[in-house]
Amino acid sequence: GAASVHLHILSPMSKGLFHKVILQSGCALNPWVNGVENTGKMMGQVLGIAGSDEEILTELRKLSVELIFMAQEQLTNDNSVNTKWFCSPIVEKQKFPAPFLPDEPVNIIRKGCYAKVPMIIGYAVREGIY
């Protein structure tokens, strides 16, 4: 939750959507936030779909949610993709005309290219140890 909100603050696509935010237990700088590139291609392979990124996306959009979940389950069960990173965002750079995440979060912060809104950040002692 907190990392997702932080990513929205850093994303040019979300500009103006948030006026105040609370980040409790995470942020866009946590190591588990960064996704793994090519998970879409791996998903396509499991489903027998090949081609360019755009062609694979077009074909994936035609499939049922159940079939996509089954393929995702197969990928995570055979350790091709860690479940923590399977649906995490990746830096899209110039692949798309309006990427959600055009650069690494730390670079966006350093450049000051993010929504300047009031923010409360919190964490708990021994966070994530369970």
48 and 112 together in one domain: no
Element holding 121 (H helix, E strand): strand 119-122
16 and 54 together in one domain: no
- Per DSSP, the chain holds a count of helices (H) and strands (E) of 6, 2
pTM for the whole thing?
A: 0.68
Kindly report, residue by residue over 18-62, the tens digit of the pLDDT.
999 999 988 898 877 776 677 778 888 889 999 988 899 899 999
- How many independent structural domains does the chain possess? 2
Kindly report, residue by residue over 75-127, the tens digit of the pLDDT.
777 665 555 556 667 777 666 678 888 888 999 999 999 999 999 999 888 77
DSSP-assigned letters across all residues of 72-110: HHHHHHTTSS-HHHHT-----TTSSSS-S--S-HHHHHH
46 and 10 together in one domain: no
